[in-house]
Structure 1
Amino acid sequence: MPTLRFATGVEESELRFVEEATTADADRPLEGVHALTPDNDPDPDQIRRHLVVIQAQDPRLSDRIQLARLLSRLKRAQATALAIAQPPTGRTTTAASRITAAERRGIPLLTICHEPATWLLLHRAVTREHHDQLTRTATLHRELLEQIHHLGQPDGTQRLVTWLASTARAHVTVVSPRLLTTAAAPADAHDVLQPAHEEITRLAHTGGIGSAALDTEGHQIRLFTIGDTCPAPVLALAAPAFTPQTNTAIARTLDLLVAQSAIENAARGRARLRQGEESVRQAILQLLMTGHVTDAQRTAAGIAPGVLDTDECRVFVLKTASHTERATVIQQCDDAVGTTALVSACPAFPDEVIVVAPRRTAEHHVFTNLTTVAQHAPRRYLGGSSPHRLADTAQAYLDASRALIVARRITARAHLYITEIQLAHVLDARACAWARTLLAPILDLPDTRRDQLLATLRLGLDFQPAAAARILGTHRNTVARRLAEAAELLDSDLQDIAHRAVIGLALEVRARRHHRVQPAAEPSVGIRSLLDTDEVRRWARQFLEPLHSDRRPLLETLAAWARSNGRVDIAAAALDMNPATVRSHLRQAEHLLQRRLVTGSHADTDTEPDIAGAHDVVLAMATLCDDVVQI
């Protein structure tokens, strides 16, 4: 709003204070000019925040009682000031009594040109300035509302700083509590405000809401704390001058910066909570994958009460389009399953989400809702396991990953693992003694060392070392060292596909017999004798039977691949085929057998599971074809 200071700047009106004005008098608000005639009294509704003009010859100025009554009316009506129009013959001295009376009632006393036309000119100038200020204020508020729409966004602080710099025609920065410039406008604002660095440091660590001002050559600098924390971020501005409108913009921007800071702090807090919960969920999953069920249940009680109070579970693996959308998919999975399942980011593969669902009435509900999440966006796939004991979560994960292979090749993009008879299920009673004998060098170690090597070996046979390390929560070099130690104890070559298959079978037999297999009274048999039964041969034929549904020689390709220790290039040379053709055959075999076979490429090393599908293929072929692979 215009003030008396503005009005005295309109030269044509010759408006002047009778005595030197105080700052408070000069800054009194003014909305217009109202002239009094000798025969009327001021209307309170017309003179509020107005400059009242009275002719010098008006009798009310000569009579002390009438003057007092006039000044009292002006005060009650909240008039801005009283101006005495000078006679045309020249200026006259304002009587001391008038000045005293005006001061007593708090009414500033001024003189003005005697011409009524100048009063009208002044009135128009004041009303025009008032209108312009209202327009600027409306524009300011409209722009502030636009800034409010961006509160909470990552660039919210920078947007506010850029807007304030433009509005105030100033150099503006926001300095964090650690005294780092987090937003600046224009680009050289940091350099312009460098002289205020020490004062910014002091203000940031003072505590409470504070401000400071200092002048440098060519600039006035104003500093304000954002909020009342200690230490606090600081808003710094440098400008040639600060107008009332600029001060208004600064005050409103400070309010918005406080809100932006609160939103950012809340977002960081939520992110820390999510990260902490995600770490706990991954830890629970790692405990389950390594067979530490009781520890997993105890840990899960804090974030998912009752979810793991079960004997059996299904595991689902949802593969996302890319690792960048996994956080979104995790939230969608959480919303889909609620408290009926445990959702976790896969510690091994950055584009996978793992869901452990207890085997209850809700498991179908979980699969249905997860299928909806998978089909919500392209390039998402869902694989689900058959039911497994909670202690065998690692095997359930393998089954879900096998189902995922099928899901990536069908229109529905979701597939449940088809329950099948495992080789370990059809071995006769001699299998326990055989597995105990084979694994004895590890089983006879002290408990802690034994469990550590067995967990690493179980995962090391199913995953690439880097992935196994992430699942175990350890370094890949540690996994490599443990695998090397296990291979030495077992006198086996873990780079040989047949050795891996045999050790994997022994571990599966041991797991099936509840981890406490005692040696049988009869001597242990060899693997070849153990596989030489009608039940095993029937299992091998049923396992490989799906390959005959394809017109291509898939079985022949698999035989060459197995003889070549899983090397595609060597198998291609032996078959006189292009390596691409061999890979195509293997991919089709993967689909038919629900097993992953092709590994070893750069992409496979860290981003794809090395599922032990090859183990079953090798054992089935060793059972039916002695010349394919020797075990």
Structure 2
Amino acid sequence: MRGTPGDAGAPAAWARELLDLLRPAGRDARRVVDWLAGTAEAEVSLQDAAGTLLAGTRLPLDASLVAALRSGRIASAAWEGEGRHLRLVRIGHPSGVCVLAVSRRAPFDRHTADVVTHTAQVIELLLAAHETTAAGHRLQRATADLRLAILQLLMVEDTVAARRVASGLWPGLLDADTACVFVVESAPARRERLVAECLDTTRDEALVVRCPAMDGHVIVVSPRAATASELRSLVGRHPGTFLGGSVWESLARTATAYGQAVSALAVARFRADKTAVYAERTHPELLMDPAALRGWAGRVLRPLDTLSHHTRAELLATTRLGLEFTAVNTAKILGVSRNTVRARMERVETMLGTDFDDVTARALVHLALHTQINLLDGQAGSDPDAASPGLAGLLDGPAVGAWARELLGRLDHDTRNVRRTLRTWIAAGGNAERAALTLGVHAQTVREHVRSAEPVLERQLLAAGTGLYEVVLAHLAVGELEHPVLTTE
């Protein structure tokens, strides 16, 4: 049973109880006010400077006394009348002043007065700690928002603004010409811990961002070669965590590097070490004649050359991401509305004379954009008007054919004829229902066949993106899909 302040030896008991309320599990001003009410056998209220009740029971207080306490003219006050005894105590904290009021029928003896005084001090500590913690959380949120803003600037190739924003908090972070992008994946509930470990591992020498589109993803942009091994070690310590990494790209190509990292992440899910790097896999464009491929890509994208540099970069960055992700996720990554994403991509569709509902057309535009970003690096490029083979000529090469036959041949061992299902599904624009009608099966069967092909091909298919587009090119190379019409080719 709780002792009263007047009991002999009670001060030690109530002091211990009060100190217990400072333990991490009990740090709440409302609990302290409730404890004071029970210990002092009183009614207690805690009000802020505006008179808002923060804890306890609202009490009728003399306005002039409260004003004097809030202004700092007095630190405490006592009043009695109408059978009540009242004590008022001013409590200062970083952002303002509160008033603690204690009203009881019995007079305040020395012990009860001590309880009130010490309780006021504890409340002051709790309010200050709460505001410090809240300020820390606000700072963390602001810093996280700033990191995201820098990433979004890099995604649209505005490296000058990104460096300017980063220089205040992370001097030198983006001074390098090239960087790698990594995507670390875990369960959404574990992401905050993963973010903290990524920040600790990279020691502010990398840009660590909570992915705005995928709840379980952490994006890391780093100019340091050591970051790859550091993140691999981190992933190795955590079950159910995966790592995808890009090749080295210029900062202006962060969007491309991000797409590479996501593509590699899909491969990492099927690997024992849970990690993958985009360059670890043979890509069809590397098997084509570079000059011919540059010429073809230049013709495909030539209508966009009439735009201003800023508009063209904006449209290309949005389209590159839009071909990898949904419009909603692309909008989150870029920090724009999904209607803006759709409008930009529709403009590109119109200018290129194609239809992005056609998966094969998407694959070819993706190839052209990828070629422009990578194969033109440090090269003057080819004249789009120069004679060069079209897409059929690019895909007819022996290296591309051998790659395509090997890739798709992995599916031939499945007795369910998964290869036919996948081909039909692609021809149906990635629509399981339409493919099911053609095949005479259930739509869920189509999805299961496509999903089962992912680990065999080591490529993500149902979520679209680079992996799917490479499989589309393989089908085109072996003649199992019709070539789409591109008016600019």
TM range (shorter): 0.7 to 0.9
Distance 1:571 1:301, change over 3 A: same
Distance 1:348 1:594 in 2: 23
Residue 555 of structure 1: CA displacement? 1.9
Question: 1:564 is matched with which residue?
Answer: 428
Select the residue among 386, 390, 397 that pairs with 1:533.
397
Provide the identity percentage: 34
Residue 507 of structure 1: CA displacement? 0.8
What does residue range 15-34 of structure 1 map to in structure 2 within 5 Å? none
Question: 1:292 is matched with which residue?
Answer: 158
Question: Is residue 486 of structure 2 the alignment partner of residue 622 of structure 1?
Answer: no
SS of the residue aligned with 1:227? strand
Question: Is residue 266 of structure 2 the alignment partner of residue 402 of structure 1?
Answer: no
Question: 2:146 is matched with which residue?
Answer: 280
Question: 2:127 is matched with which residue?
Answer: 261
CA deviation map 1:546-590 (0-9, x unaligned): 434655533222111111110112223323333333222222322
Select the residue among 281, 304, 325 that pairs with 2:170.
304
TM-score, scaled relative to structure 2: 0.87
SS of the residue aligned with 2:21? helix
Select the residue among 437, 451, 457 that pairs with 2:319.
457
Select the residue among 289, 299, 320 that pairs with 2:186.
320
In structure 2, what residue type is equivalent to 1:468?
T
Flag the structure with larger Rg.
1
Alpha-carbon contact 2:148-2:210 (below 8 Å) kept:
yes
In structure 2, what residue type is equivalent to 1:532?
D
Question: Is residue 20 of structure 2 the alignment partner of residue 142 of structure 1?
Answer: no
RMSD of aligned C-alpha atoms? 3.1
Distance 1:521 1:141 in 2: 88
Distance 1:200 1:329 in 2: 52
Give the paired residue count: 479
SS of the residue aligned with 1:175? strand
Residue 444 of structure 1: CA displacement? 1.0
Alpha-carbon contact 1:564-1:570 (below 8 Å) kept:
yes
Alpha-carbon contact 2:4-2:10 (below 8 Å) kept:
no
Distance 2:371 2:277 in 1: 24
SS of the residue aligned with 1:225? strand
Question: Is residue 116 of structure 2 the alignment partner of residue 250 of structure 1?
Answer: yes
Alpha-carbon contact 2:147-2:209 (below 8 Å) kept:
yes
Residue 364 of structure 1: CA displacement? 4.5
What does residue range 45-60 of structure 1 map to in structure 2 within 5 Å? none
Residue 519 of structure 1: CA displacement? 2.9
Between stretches 262-271 and 366-375, larger displacement belongs to 366-375
Question: 2:54 is matched with which residue?
Answer: 182
Question: 2:360 is matched with which residue?
Answer: 498
Residue 622 of structure 1: CA displacement? 1.4
Question: Is residue 251 of structure 2 the alignment partner of residue 368 of structure 1?
Answer: no
SS of the residue aligned with 1:498? helix
Distance 2:444 2:308 in 1: 48
Distance 1:200 1:617 in 2: 79
Question: 1:357 is matched with which residue?
Answer: 222
Distance 1:550 1:313, change over 3 A: farther
Alpha-carbon contact 2:4-2:40 (below 8 Å) kept:
no
In structure 2, what residue type is equivalent to 1:280?
L
CA deviation map 1:203-237 (0-9, x unaligned): 57414763344557554343322126673122232
Question: Is residue 38 of structure 2 the alignment partner of residue 172 of structure 1?
Answer: no
TM-score, scaled relative to structure 1: 0.69
Distance 1:345 1:255 in 2: 39
Alpha-carbon contact 1:177-1:233 (below 8 Å) kept:
yes
Residue 250 of structure 1: CA displacement? 1.1
What does residue range 474-493 of structure 1 map to in structure 2 within 5 Å? 474-493=336-355
Question: 1:426 is matched with which residue?
Answer: 287
In structure 2, what residue type is equivalent to 1:544?
L
Distance 1:505 1:340 in 2: 33
Distance 1:261 1:216, change over 3 A: same
Alpha-carbon contact 1:207-1:231 (below 8 Å) kept:
no
In structure 1, what residue type is equivalent to 2:335?
G
Select the residue among 607, 611, 615 that pairs with 2:465.
611
Question: 1:348 is matched with which residue?
Answer: 213
Structure 2, unaligned runs of 5 or more: none
Question: Is residue 401 of structure 2 the alignment partner of residue 547 of structure 1?
Answer: no
